[in-house]
Structure 1
C-alpha cells in the first residue's frame, strides 16, 4: 500500500502552528509527518527534534520523524539514545531520518567545522552502525571514520527495530543506504523523476550485494505540491488540479516509490485538506476511497 506523509514547516512565526497541522494531518488520515532540520538562519524557526517531540505528544497514531536530521549537528550516540526515548514514549512511531547535512554555512555558523562530502557520507554510515550497535549490544565499542564509541551502553534497548531513512544521492551514499538503511527519501528538487531510475538501480544493487531484499526498503519521494488549477507546473513543484497532481504521483509510483512526503506550497492547512480528500484517493495503491 502507498503511504502518505505531510511535511510540516519549521517556521516559528507568530501565526505558525506545527502542532495543529500535525493533528490535522492525523485526522485527515496521513500516515506520517516530517520536518526539515536547519537550526541556523535569520528566519524564525523551531528546532526540529524538539517540536517533533511536542507533535508526538499531541498525536496518537501518526508516525513522526525528521526529514532529515543532519548527522554532523549532534553526536550519533546521543541521537541513538534520543531516538530510543522518542520511540518508546511515542508508542513506536518514530521514523529516524538522517542526512549528511547540505547547508555548509550552518556548520561554520555553529563552529562545527565543514565536513567534506566524503566525511558526510562516512558520518552517515557511522551514525547508522552506532545506532544499531547501541540498540542491540552492551558495552558497545565502535571505531569509525568519523565517530566512535567505547564500551557504551544504552538502556533500555528499543522495543522494536526503529526504521532509519536516508536522504541520499551520490554513489557512495546510495551504497550505504542500500546496505544499511530501512528507507530512502530523496527530494524532487534534488532528484527529479528522470534521474530516479539510475539512483534507484544503484540503491537496489547495493542492497542485493549486501544480501538484502530490496523490497524491504521503503522508497519515499519528498514532493512539493500545489493543488491549484492556476499554478502551472515548474520550479520543482508538482501542481495542477487534483486529478493532474494525482496523475503525476501515479507516475512516480511506477518509478518504485511506495511512500510520498508531500510538502504543500502556500496555505498548508488548506492544501493538506484537499490533498487528503481529493488527491490521495486517486493515487493507485493508496487504499483510500474516493469521497
Structure 2
C-alpha cells in the first residue's frame, strides 16, 4: 500500500519498565515511543526514557491541559527537546480550547519574536512571559482520539484538522481516521 509519505511505527511504554521497553523498541528499529499520563507523570517518564535511549523519538500521548498551563508546558517540551537532541512530539487530549492552547505553545516557542508573549484568551492568560526556549526542532502537536461519537467527536476531529499537526486514534477506532480524512479534505 502506498501511503504517499513515510509511516513511522511506535509503541506505548510506561511504568517501571518504560526505559527497557523503549530500548527494545529502539533495537527493533521502531521510530517512536509514546507515554501516557497514567499513574506516573508523563514528563518525568519521558525524560527518563529520552535519557535511556539514543535514537527513538519520544512523545506524550493524551495529555490533558488541566493543571498544565500551555506556557509552562511549552518550556517543559522545549527543554526536553533540547536535552534529547530534537526527539520530542506532543500529544494533547481532545479539548475545545485546543486552538488557544496551541497558539500559546507556539507563541512561547517563538523565541526570536520581539518582546514577551502576551495572550488574553477566554481560557488562558499570559500577561507577558519571556518567550523560549525554542525547541531544538519543530515539535509536532498532535490531538486525539475523539471519545464518543456524534457532534462532539466531529468537533474534536475538526479542531485537530485545523489546529494540530496530527491526530491519532486507537486501533479499535480506525474508522475514525477515515472521518478525519474527510474533514481535512
- Asked if the contact 1:168/1:177 (under 8 Å) is kept, the reply is no
- Asked if the contact 2:141/2:166 (under 8 Å) is kept, the reply is yes
Residue matched to 1:234: none
Residue matched to 1:198: 179
- CA–CA distance in 2 between the matches of 1:194 and 1:179? 20
- CA–CA distance in 2 between the matches of 1:74 and 1:198? 29
Aligned positions of 1:220-259 closer than 5 A: none
Residue matched to 1:31: 31
Cα–Cα, structure 1 residues 201 and 140, in superposed 2: closer, same or farther, change >3 Å?
same
Larger radius of gyration: 1
Residue matched to 1:162: 139
Tell me how many residue pairs correspond in the alignment: 171
Of residues 135, 144, 158, the one that matches 2:121 is: 144
Of residues 50, 53, 57, the one that matches 1:59 is: 53
Query: How far 1:173 sits from its partner (Å)?
Result: 2.2
TM-score (norm 1): 0.55
- Asked if the contact 2:63/2:91 (under 8 Å) is kept, the reply is yes
Cα–Cα, structure 1 residues 58 and 195, in superposed 2: closer, same or farther, change >3 Å?
closer
- CA–CA distance in 1 between the matches of 2:139 and 2:178? 27
1:29 aligns to what SS in structure 2? coil
Of residues 63, 84, 92, the one that matches 1:90 is: 84
Of residues 144, 154, 161, the one that matches 1:171 is: 154
Query: How far 1:168 sits from its partner (Å)?
Result: 4.0
- Asked if the contact 2:107/2:131 (under 8 Å) is kept, the reply is no
Residue matched to 1:7: 12
Residue matched to 1:47: 41
Of residues 62, 69, 79, the one that matches 2:73 is: 79
- Asked if the contact 2:75/2:133 (under 8 Å) is kept, the reply is no
Query: How far 1:88 sits from its partner (Å)?
Result: 0.5
2:96 aligns to what SS in structure 1? helix
Query: How far 1:93 sits from its partner (Å)?
Result: 0.2
Off by >6 Å, runs of 4+ in structure 1: none
- CA–CA distance in 1 between the matches of 2:37 and 2:139? 19
Cα–Cα, structure 1 residues 28 and 121, in superposed 2: closer, same or farther, change >3 Å?
same
TM-align CA RMSD = 1.7
- Asked if the contact 1:70/1:98 (under 8 Å) is kept, the reply is yes
